[in-house]
Structure 1
């Protein structure tokens, strides 16, 4: 059992997480049998500095800028008293899968070497951002919305902040204060955070303190230096298995489970290969089929011989976007959406 790091408050046991400095990656085997949502105790954490402890009784969310007619501040109690919505949404780091640029394609990319565990789906409850913007008198010539976090400044770049276009802000973005039916935990943004369906995780700013609404394009280090030109998440798939899992030979076919997701739309097909991509078999889906979250699926397999195998899963979404066997290297290691080769060992008995 690993104690929480200095930057993360919740426990980070080794069987649930792989720790990357100030961040923690969920181990995919921890999702086995867990139902549709990622439990809070195993939801990944991406921090730039460390988790702040914020007093909700003195906290306010300030909306300001030239794009508003009547700037407003909302207290925690005011926020919770407003009409709420509940969405099932995936939040995923843009660098999820980065280590496979090096491991599979031999073109390593800089940054945190995430496997596939920098994603989680939760049931978020809060107030639609468009409701707050309307309360503050959003102007018809508003262009960008800039949420700012209250965590400690990152190096010399200031507080985490990344602009959203007004069209997205007025669409499906949520200012969330609950996660899986519980008060938002500190590591996940208490008192309030943005939840931006389909977009890279950096857009879902935690520990919201202010939101600027502008009548011109806005820039910050988080859309110029660190996350340029990445918005909607691509198609990905993962098995609910440990890396190098040991599976037994059995007369009864094994049932393997996994999940696939895309920021662009619903997953319409998942195929699995057990022979390095020579042949593919369509997996059966089960559970919910939500645009903003993921699709659980399963497939049966009866391995005949012991040895080392690579499981492969590829998904296609409703836009026709599908996972390829290889993809061009991204200079920052973002958006790795190629088929991942998941090693396992088949053993006798």
Structure 2
């Protein structure tokens, strides 16, 4: 076991023993591995009973602590609270980074992990295997990029537009930006024997098979990429913000598809099929298309680029004193182009002022921004932030609805109380 993983395991075990985390969603064999790594197997009850004190910083199926000051738990997911990002810098700290799980976080051993590349889009019939050490022998590439769930902002279809949708009721915190290090997927595919007949590439995760509410087993999470995208800017990432990937974010290796919807960035990747014909999975047929009255009967094309959004680093219904100067801060991002302008309104959209941008535009990243505001009188105010990107697109007042609540991009109405 690599030193970094052993250190992580010891840290997690100490938190569990202290009552700061619990073992929900962690298989017994994985907990025993943590105990053995720390040399403390005999010190823990055989039944692995939860500590008597309620654990307030852990969630079922998620390994890292998710303190309520930083996260909102949504089933098997943890949404980052945007106010917690204020002052954290451009890259989202790993301990603040949101978690999107279809099932639960697997605890994988980097020493025994292998990536299998196979399919009729390769020159050889037998699969090709790569260890983590093999990947690290390739030239390394570092790239800053956000990962964002396609349903980020979904709750506003209902709360702001009055339209019912299905899926996790994210507000705006299902996004994080990190500095990723790894090997270009193109390099690995070429080493595996990519041929001119290849058209699609299908990464598959090593998390548990996904079973729907009606009992249908959809298998491991997987979603195909067109070859052109796979050969462009996609990484097989093994580091995040200068550290080895933690379990919740794909340890030991994940796919990173910059600027695309998060489902494309498969975590815990175990195999990649390279095919000479188009590939499909439930995650680009039943899910991650747009369905509804405004779309064809079979739905839109599979989702690719993320959309345009803005968020304040401020509590919902925050209380602010009247007559005082406040520095409003936030972040805006787009999957289609870098954000070049952010306008802010403090009166519900009657008037707008241009915010100061603190980062250069970047297609796969976000910009931090700020503006000063001195509310003269007490009352309820509605704040709005509206971004424009390098394609010339500006956030609209409303988003065309779709039944699964993807790609909400309208300006969000953020209430505050001034007293």
CA RMSD of aligned residues (A): 1.0
Q: What is the correspondence of 1:289-304 to structure 2 with a 5 Å cutoff?
A: 289-304=361-376
1:218 counterpart SS class: coil
Q: Distance in 1 between matches of 2:183 and 2:308?
A: 28
In structure 2, stretches of 5+ residues that fail to align are: 1-54, 212-216, 290-301
Partner of 1:310: 382
TM-score normalized by the length of structure 2: 0.81
Q: Distance in 1 between matches of 2:139 and 2:415?
A: 47
Q: Distance in 2 between matches of 1:201 and 1:300?
A: 33
Bigger CA drift: 45-54 or 76-85?
76-85
Give how far 1:278 is off. Answer: 1.2
Partner of 2:166: 110
Q: Distance in 2 between matches of 1:233 and 1:321?
A: 13
Q: What is the correspondence of 1:148-227 to structure 2 with a 5 Å cutoff?
A: 148-155=204-211, 156-227=217-288
Q: Indicate whether 1:236 and 2:297 are aligned.
A: no
Match of 1:324 among 387, 390, 396: 396
Query: Of Structure 1 and Structure 2, which has the larger fraction of its residues in strand?
Result: 1
Give how far 1:64 is off. Answer: 0.6
Q: What is the correspondence of 1:1-349 to structure 2 with a 5 Å cutoff?
A: 2-70=56-124, 71-155=127-211, 156-228=217-289, 229-251=302-324, 253-347=325-419
Q: Deviation above 4 Å: which 4+ runs of structure 1?
A: none
1:30 counterpart SS class: helix
Partner of 2:23: none
Q: Distance in 1 between matches of 2:157 and 2:317?
A: 19
Q: Distance in 1 between matches of 2:143 and 2:254?
A: 14
Residues 254 and 301, structure 1, Cα contact 8 Å, conserved in 2: yes
Give how far 1:137 is off. Answer: 1.6
Report the structure number with the largest CA radius of gyration.
2
Give how far 1:302 is off. Answer: 1.0
Query: Of Structure 1 and Structure 2, which has the larger fraction of its residues in helix?
Result: 2
Give how far 1:145 is off. Answer: 0.3
In structure 1, stretches of 5+ residues that fail to align are: none
Q: Distance in 1 between matches of 2:259 and 2:359?
A: 19
Give how far 1:3 is off. Answer: 3.0
Residues 288 and 296, structure 1, Cα contact 8 Å, conserved in 2: no
Bigger CA drift: 220-229 or 173-182?
220-229
Residues 164 and 403, structure 2, Cα contact 8 Å, conserved in 1: no
